Amino acid sequence: YVGCTVRTADKRMSEHFQTSENLSKLKIAMQRHGSNNFKKNVLEAIVASTKEELVEKVFDRERYWIAQRDSYMEGYNCTPGNR
């Protein structure tokens, strides 16, 4: 799974596990295997001078990393990026 956040990685991953909105591939896997069995790594840190620039850069890099790791077709991402 590749995702972006402005919060900590731990906070974002815990939100995936706690949300009851839908059963994403990631949530199902976390329930099956336990959230403690998933490693969290920061792939890239983004710096920008405005919030708008930050959002644009972060979403661009999220799409890049999902494609690079093939995590849409072969992983836990439900979209090729940005929801």
Q: What is the per-residue pLDDT for 83?
A: 65
pLDDT at 61: 95
pLDDT the model gives residue 22: 61
pLDDT of residue 15: 76
CA atoms within 13 A on the CB side of 37: 9
- pLDDT tens per residue across span 16-60: 667 655 668 888 888 899 888 988 888 999 999 999 999 999 999
Question: Nearest-CA neighbor of 30 among 18, 42, 21, 12?
Answer: 18
From CA 77, how far away is CA 26, in angstroms rounded? 7
Global pTM reads: 0.80
Tally Cβ neighbours within 10 Å of residue 53: 12
Check residues 13 and 68 and name the one with the higher pLDDT. Answer: 68
Q: Which residues touch 48 (CB under 8 Å, ≥6 apart)?
A: 54, 56, 57
